[in-house]
Amino acid sequence: MPLDRAMSWDYSEKKMFGGVTLEIERKFLTKEIPFSLEGFVCKQIIQSYISFEPTIRIRKSNEQYFLTVKGKGHMAREEFEIPIQQQEYDRLLEKIEGNEVRKKRYYIPLERGYMAELDIYEGQLEGLFTTEVEFPTMEEAESFVPLTWLGEDITKDRRYKNTFLARYGKPKAVK
């Protein structure tokens, strides 16, 4: 799959429910990356939470800004995301709970058209690497056989959710 096609998949091919997408993904605790990241698309991401319950997040991704509301769940959950202006983002920063989460996200194409989103955390979370892979269906998510480098499946481990990281910091297992 061409990189530009893979980069747009998450917005154009998710199941839609009246403007709300169903995000289906698995998350892995990546210990080491056995190849150079040079040449892969990379975004600098800063995200903060206005609310943890319900989950309401603001995110700066390079020079784009988003407001996102997420439902409950691990492998599959509803998500509603809209672009916002920098001024709106800056005003909402005054209302955040917890700590901001800073990371570099690398987009790494995988076989069968999947995209690995490798997050290399910075600041208080430095040393933590996670990788998410999104899927169009639950069946594909459940049958996916991860490459060894992706690491341990932590999809259901709440300690690695970004909301948990923003509230409590890096889990003790990776300190």
Contact 145, 137 (CB under 8 A): no
CA–CA separation, 167 vs 164, rounded Å? 5
Which has the higher per-residue pLDDT, 158 or 5? 158
Spatial CB neighbours of 6, under 8 Å, sequence gap ≥ 6: 107, 109, 113, 114, 115
From 11, 49, 106, 121, the catalytic residue: 49
Q: What one-letter code names the amino acid at 119?
A: D
CA–CA separation, 168 vs 175, rounded Å? 13
Name the least confident of 7-21, 26-40, 59-73, 102-116. 7-21
pLDDT, mean over the chain: 89
User: Is 65 a residue of the active site?
Assistant: no
pLDDT class of 172 with cuts at 50, 70, 90: confident
Homologous superfamily of the 3-168 domain (CATH)? Hypothetical Protein Pfu-838710-001 (2.40.320.10)
- Domain layout of the chain by residue ranges: 3-168
Evaluate if pTM is beyond 0.95. no
Contact 155, 75 (CB under 8 A): yes
